[in-house]
């Protein structure tokens, strides 16, 4: 079914419009902080998203290994987002994944529509654009492709792109390698909280239940980038999120009261701590507010993999080991589904207030 609610953003962007439809114009308050993404990325002063080198993560030398793990833990506690380098996934595979996604999006919109999702009926996998699900009816300047990539037995291969021919192989291999990296990161974060190394992995569903959902975000060129956002300010609900991009800046993090633009670090994977790990750690690891800017000159594409616990099977709440009289639980017990509903409810309330 073709989404008749709003045209694809790509169709709008290539139609020759000089000004964007009002649904895409952000509030005056938001506009005051929207800046030129290329100029922002060049800035050297002020805080910068940390880069964590994972090369020594399993070093034989205990001192070297501990230093590397400590840096990761510190970045997770201070920022909740980081550029991972020497992460063990080859540059060649990352390039294949990116090339496959780019080629899929280079097809005409009519071709991509064959994969259209239908959010009204709850079919969220496939090609889509955001529907106005908020009180203000605001839209974001992006189209996307969304599908589950791991565990393999839970995938629906019927909605995976057939073009290009390498899409399935490259994306599957990347998901498999990312799953291994995920276990490693979760074990370091567990140890960082004084827990057994397998604990966080177990708490978010383990090999069988933790879902890896890929969302390729396609941000077309925008004639009025100072008025729009590719994605509005939010925190991820996931346990962890891993992001690749096509080296066009746009990601901004809200750190110490200011929007900080992430630099484009070659061959890195950006990693976010999501709400799920923030809750389990009782706020020791941060799920940082972030958003995406757009620009006039270049299409931006990012590949986000959200690592999510099962919707109903697990109760998310601060682990007993990280709670004490001095540090009481900051979050009430909720299933993952309830957490998502709670966020939507809060957002709607805030929009009605405004």
**What's the CA gap between 327 and 308, in Å, rounded?**
26
Q: Which homologous superfamily does the CATH classification assign to the domain defined by 36-352?
A: B-lactam Antibiotic, Isopenicillin N Synthase; Chain (2.60.120.330)
**What's the CA gap between 149 and 147, in Å, rounded?**
6
Structure tokens that stand for 137 in this block: 């009816």
Residue 69 phi/psi, 5-degree rounding, is -65, -35
**What's the CA gap between 174 and 242, in Å, rounded?**
11
pTM score, two decimals?
0.95
**What's the CA gap between 174 and 91, in Å, rounded?**
11
Residue 98 phi/psi, 5-degree rounding, is -70, -45
CB 183, CB 146: distance < 8 Å:
no
Widest CA span in the chain? 61
Q: Tens-of-pLDDT digits for all 354 residues of the chain?
A: 344 445 799 999 999 999 999 999 999 999 999 999 999 999 998 999 999 999 999 999 999 999 999 999 999 999 999 999 999 999 999 999 999 999 999 999 999 999 999 888 888 899 999 876 555 678 999 999 999 999 999 999 999 999 999 999 999 999 999 999 999 999 999 999 999 999 999 999 999 999 999 999 999 999 999 999 999 999 999 999 999 999 999 999 999 999 999 999 999 999 999 999 999 999 999 999 999 999 999 999 999 999 999 999 999 999 999 999 999 999 999 999 999 999 988 877 776 665
Any idea which residues carry the catalytic annotation? 215, 234, 236, 290
Cβ atoms within 10 A of the Cβ of 261, count? 23
- Segments making up each domain of the chain, as ranges: 36-352
Structure tokens that stand for 9 in this block: 């953003």
CB 234, CB 217: distance < 8 Å:
no
**What's the CA gap between 32 and 307, in Å, rounded?**
33
**What's the CA gap between 319 and 204, in Å, rounded?**
12
**What's the CA gap between 124 and 115, in Å, rounded?**
11
Side-chain-side CA neighbours of 82 within 13 Å: the count stands at 24
CB 269, CB 180: distance < 8 Å:
no
């Amino acid at each position: 079914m073709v989404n008749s609610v709003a045209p694809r953003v790509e169709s709008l962007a290539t139609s020759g419009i000089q000004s964007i439809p009002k649904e895409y114009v952000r509030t005056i308050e938001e506009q005051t902080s929207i800046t030129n993404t290329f100029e922002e990325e060049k800035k050297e002063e002020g805080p910068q998203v940390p880069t964590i080198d994972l090369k020594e993560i399993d070093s034989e030398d205990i001192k070297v290994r501990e230093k590397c793990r400590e840096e990761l833990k510190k970045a997770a506690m201070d920022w909740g987002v980081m550029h991972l380098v020497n992460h063990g996934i080859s540059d060649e595979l990352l390039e294949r994944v990116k090339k496959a996604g780019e080629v899929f999006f280079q097809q005409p919109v009519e071709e991509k529509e064959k994969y259209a999702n239908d959010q009204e009926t709850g079919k969220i996998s496939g090609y889509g654009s955001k529907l106005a699900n908020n009180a203000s009816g605001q839209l974001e300047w992006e189209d996307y492709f969304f599908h589950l990539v791991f565990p393999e037995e839970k995938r629906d291969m019927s909605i995976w792109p057939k073009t290009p021919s390498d899409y399935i192989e490259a994306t599957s291999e990347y998901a498999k390698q990312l799953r291994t990296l995920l276990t490693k990161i979760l074990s370091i974060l567990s140890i960082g909280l004084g827990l057994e190394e397998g604990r966080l992995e177990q708490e978010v569903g383990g090999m069988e239940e933790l879902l890896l959902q890929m969302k390729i975000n396609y941000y077309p060129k925008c004639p009025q980038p100072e008025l729009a956002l590719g994605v509005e300010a939010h925190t991820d609900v996931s346990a962890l999120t891993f992001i690749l991009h096509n080296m066009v800046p746009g990601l901004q993090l809200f750190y110490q009261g200011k929007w900080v633009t992430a630099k484009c670090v070659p061959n890195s994977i950006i990693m976010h701590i999501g709400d799920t790990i923030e809750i389990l750690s009782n706020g020791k690891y941060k799920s940082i507010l972030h958003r995406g800017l757009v620009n006039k000159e270049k299409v931006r594409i990012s590949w986000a993999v959200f690592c999510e616990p099962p919707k109903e099977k697990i109760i998310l709440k601060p682990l007993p080991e990280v709670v004490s009289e001095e540090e009481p639980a900051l979050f009430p017990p909720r299933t993952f589904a309830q957490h998502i509903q709670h966020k939507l409810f809060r957002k709607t309330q805030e929009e009605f207030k405004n």
